[in-house]
Amino acid sequence: MSDYNYPYKDAEFLINEVIGFDEMCSSAGLDEVNGELLSAIFEEANRLATEVIVPLNVIGDQNPATLDENGVQQSPGFAEAYRQYVDNGWGALAFPEEFGGQGMPKLVGVAVDEIWQSSSLAFALCSLLTHGTVEALIEHGSDELKEVYLPNLVSGEWTGTMNLTEPAAGSDLAAVMTRAVPEGDHYLISGQKIFITWGDHQMTDNVIHLVLARLPDAPAGSRGISLFLVPKFLLDEQGNPGQRNDVRCVSLEHKLGIHASPTCVLAFGDNDGAVGYLVGEPNRGLMAMFTMMNHARQGVGLQGLSLSTRSYQQALQYAKERLQGTRSDGSRFPIIEYPDVRRMLMLMKSGTEAMRGLAYIAAAEIDRGRFATDAETAARHSTRVDLYTPIVKGWLTELAQEITSLGIQIHGGMGYVEETGSAQFFRDVRITPIYEGTTGIQGQDLVGRKILANSGESLAGLLEDIQACADELGSSAELSGLGTALRTAVETARTARQWLLDNAGKDRSVAGGAGVNFLMMMGYICGGWVMGLSALKASQLLAAGGGDESFLSAKLVTARFYCEHLLPRADSCLTTIRAGSDSMMALQEEQF
Ligand SMILES: Cc1cc2nc3c(=O)[nH]c(=O)nc-3n(C[C@H](O)[C@H](O)[C@H](O)COP(=O)(O)OP(=O)(O)OC[C@H]3O[C@@H](n4cnc5c(N)ncnc54)[C@H](O)[C@@H]3O)c2cc1C
């Protein structure tokens, strides 16, 4: 079984050189935040991860959370590890200081989250949902709710959950049926939520649920859904957890992966009704929940990257050790010498580097929006974040399926048996294209809300940025091949964009049928952009004689491999998009 280590070199290169961290921080007045501090943070997080959390990954897989009369009992070792995580201040890293956070940029929080997620996805999920709860409360909670609940959520003393799904309301949240009846200064919530991640546990003395429910007079559909905060324990006059609220975990799901992450059926109001407090405006709950979901969607994209990285690191180690070939002198050689194994390793390496670049660029875009001093700049960054979010969620998690599968393939038969650990990454990552909105939903979001809703303008802006990178690559003798590949890809995207604008209005199934291919096309192209930007920086640093020569020259090769082997997939996406939805929709249901 392999060790895990955060790929510092790649992360720091991306953050410091490609994104320009120091400049971003100093222009935001964060004078004490810089690349040096970043390295120290990474080192500390990596230490906790490798010493404490990584060993829990297999333990949790083999000892899932259980349910007894006292509620959900988390997997062994998780409570102790979570305590260390909280005591060392990791929960509060990237939240505003006014709520007890440490005020680090989102980008730092995302990079550190990669470390936790790579170590144990099941463990890290708990904090991902707490962070989403915090974001939603900061944006939509009343001053009183913020004052009472935020400090303990920010520190991680209490954890948060997200309660959308019901038996009849999955992708279609308009079908939510949970009820909320006003009573005095609060509401009484009743109904059943399913699939609630970390919906109960004993690691903290309270769990704060954010719950979608309907008021008695609410209009039908998505415009009649409100958001409520429902604590597991009601607070006493001192603000400490007191009386048990009427919400309970009534069963746990048995799953393909993330066994240590309890996936709960939660019953609200089986007795008198669970006390809840309105978050934001009545009937505007879906909008408020979208704050949480957008946070979580990028976070789930990062999960795809995190497990791909883990899978790659383990496959690489195996490929160097597994002897499976004999030279003419009788000596045996490792499988890493075979071109086909190289193909798989390079696909994993270049894919994860492109994924990391896109995830970090998207996180930095959130920071740039927050740090903006005028409304127009903030809006520009926010529009770009909106465009990135479904691509980060959809492309990273879909590509992760292929990468973690290749991780198994490189192990041969040993990959298929559980003891090497490679199979667990593949099982754990399978949920990521499903929860927080399936890839189909992300594709529709990208095409409908993020492209067609603004007549393709924000996409055109992104393509201009990618084109600028292609032009710069093209003007370098050494990198012109990458420039040509990226320019072709931009043309591909422009053709697809125009096709969408010309055809979407004709038939609803045209846009619906094209969504996922559009998303994947944009993922491959954004990945090519990141690798292009990285190659430009690597080449400049090499020419200046600065930096780590071995890392930088490897980056140039990895970028070339990406442009030769992964970027051309954008073309095949275009072919599929242009085929339209005729053959997809032509069969009568009974013909299937
Ligand atoms: C392990 C796990 C953890 C989870 N954690 C949480 C949690 O913490 N909180 C929470 O609220 N939920 C959670 N979920 C629920 C998860 O978000 C849903 O499973 C997911 O949104 C899909 O909903 P569904 O399962 O009802 O599938 P369905 O909506 O029934 O979808 C089935 C298929 O139909 C497709 N489909 C459905 N509608 C459309 C459409 N409009 N257009 C195109 N295709 C469509 C989907 O893409 C999918 O392929 C979790 C689920 C799991 C398995």
Confidence category of residue 511, pLDDT binned at 50, 70, 90: confident
The model's pLDDT over 25-53, given as tens digits with 9 standing for 90+, comes to 999 999 999 999 999 999 999 999 999 99
Q: Given a cut of 80, is residue 433 above it in pLDDT?
A: yes
Confidence category of residue 457, pLDDT binned at 50, 70, 90: very high
The model's pLDDT over 5-30, given as tens digits with 9 standing for 90+, comes to 999 999 999 999 999 999 999 999 99
Q: Given a cut of 80, is residue 138 above it in pLDDT?
A: yes
The pLDDT value given to residue 2? 57
The pLDDT value given to residue 506? 86
The rounded Å distance from CA 191 to ligand 1 centre is: 18
586: exposed, middle or buried (C-beta count within 10 Å: 0-12, 13-18, 19+)? Answer: exposed
The atom number, within ligand 1, closest to the CA of 198 reads 8
- 500 is written with which tokens? 């969408």
Contact, 518 vs 461, CB < 8 A?
no
Residues identified as active-site: 436
The model's pLDDT over 142-194, given as tens digits with 9 standing for 90+, comes to 999 999 999 999 999 999 999 999 999 999 999 999 999 999 999 999 999 99
The pLDDT value given to residue 287? 87
- Dihedral sign of CA atoms 271, 272, 275, 276 in order: positive
| Cβ neighbours for 438, distance < 8 A, ≥ 6 positions apart | 171
The pLDDT value given to residue 255? 98
Q: What percent of the chain has pLDDT over 70?
A: 100
The model's pLDDT over 73-85, given as tens digits with 9 standing for 90+, comes to 999 999 999 999 9
CA 428: distance to chain centroid?
Answer: 14
Q: Given a cut of 90, is residue 1 above it in pLDDT?
A: no
Find the distance separating the first CA and the last CA of the chain, reported in whole Å. 44
Pocket test for ligand 1, best of 161, 171, 172, 173 (most atoms within 8 A of CB): 171
The atom number, within ligand 1, closest to the CA of 199 reads 8
Pocket test for ligand 1, best of 222, 435, 518, 519 (most atoms within 8 A of CB): 435
Question: Rounded to whole angstroms, what are the CA distances from 175 to 29, 209, 467, 470, 562?
Answer: 45, 20, 43, 46, 43
The rounded Å distance from CA 434 to ligand 1 centre is: 6
Q: Given a cut of 80, is residue 98 above it in pLDDT?
A: yes
Buried/exposed code over 90-100 (b: 16+ C-beta within 10 A; e: otherwise): bbbbbbeeebb
| Averaged pLDDT for residues 90-96 | 96
Question: Rounded to whole angstroms, what are the CA distances from 181 to 156, 218, 275, 277, 358?
Answer: 30, 11, 10, 11, 44
pTM of structure: 0.97
Which residue is closest in CA terms to ligand 1's atom 40? 441
Ligand 1 cavity residues, CB under 6 Å:
162-165, 170-171, 195-197, 255, 263, 431, 434-438, 440-441, 444
CA distance 223 to 288: 12
The rounded Å distance from CA 255 to ligand 1 centre is: 14
Q: Given a cut of 90, is residue 66 above it in pLDDT?
A: yes
Partners of 179 in beta bridges? 190, 214
Which residue is closest in CA terms to ligand 1's atom 31? 171
The rounded Å distance from CA 193 to ligand 1 centre is: 13
Q: Given a cut of 60, is residue 56 above it in pLDDT?
A: yes
The pLDDT value given to residue 380? 96
The model's pLDDT over 271-319, given as tens digits with 9 standing for 90+, comes to 999 999 999 999 999 988 887 777 789 999 999 999 999 999 999 999 9
Which residue is closest in CA terms to ligand 1's atom 38? 171
User: Which amino acid is it at 10?
Assistant: D
Which residue is closest in CA terms to ligand 1's atom 12? 165
Which residue is closest in CA terms to ligand 1's atom 7? 196
The closest alpha carbon to 474, from 532, 552, 543, belongs to 532
The atom number, within ligand 1, closest to the CA of 163 reads 11
Instruction: Write down the mean pLDDT value for the chain.
Output: 96
The rounded Å distance from CA 445 to ligand 1 centre is: 15
The pLDDT value given to residue 425? 98
Partners of 252 in beta bridges? 264
- Residue with structure tokens 């509401």? 187
The model's pLDDT over 409-429, given as tens digits with 9 standing for 90+, comes to 999 999 999 999 999 999 999
Q: What percent of the chain has pLDDT over 90?
A: 96
The pLDDT value given to residue 227? 97
CA distance 45 to 120: 13
CA distance 234 to 227: 18
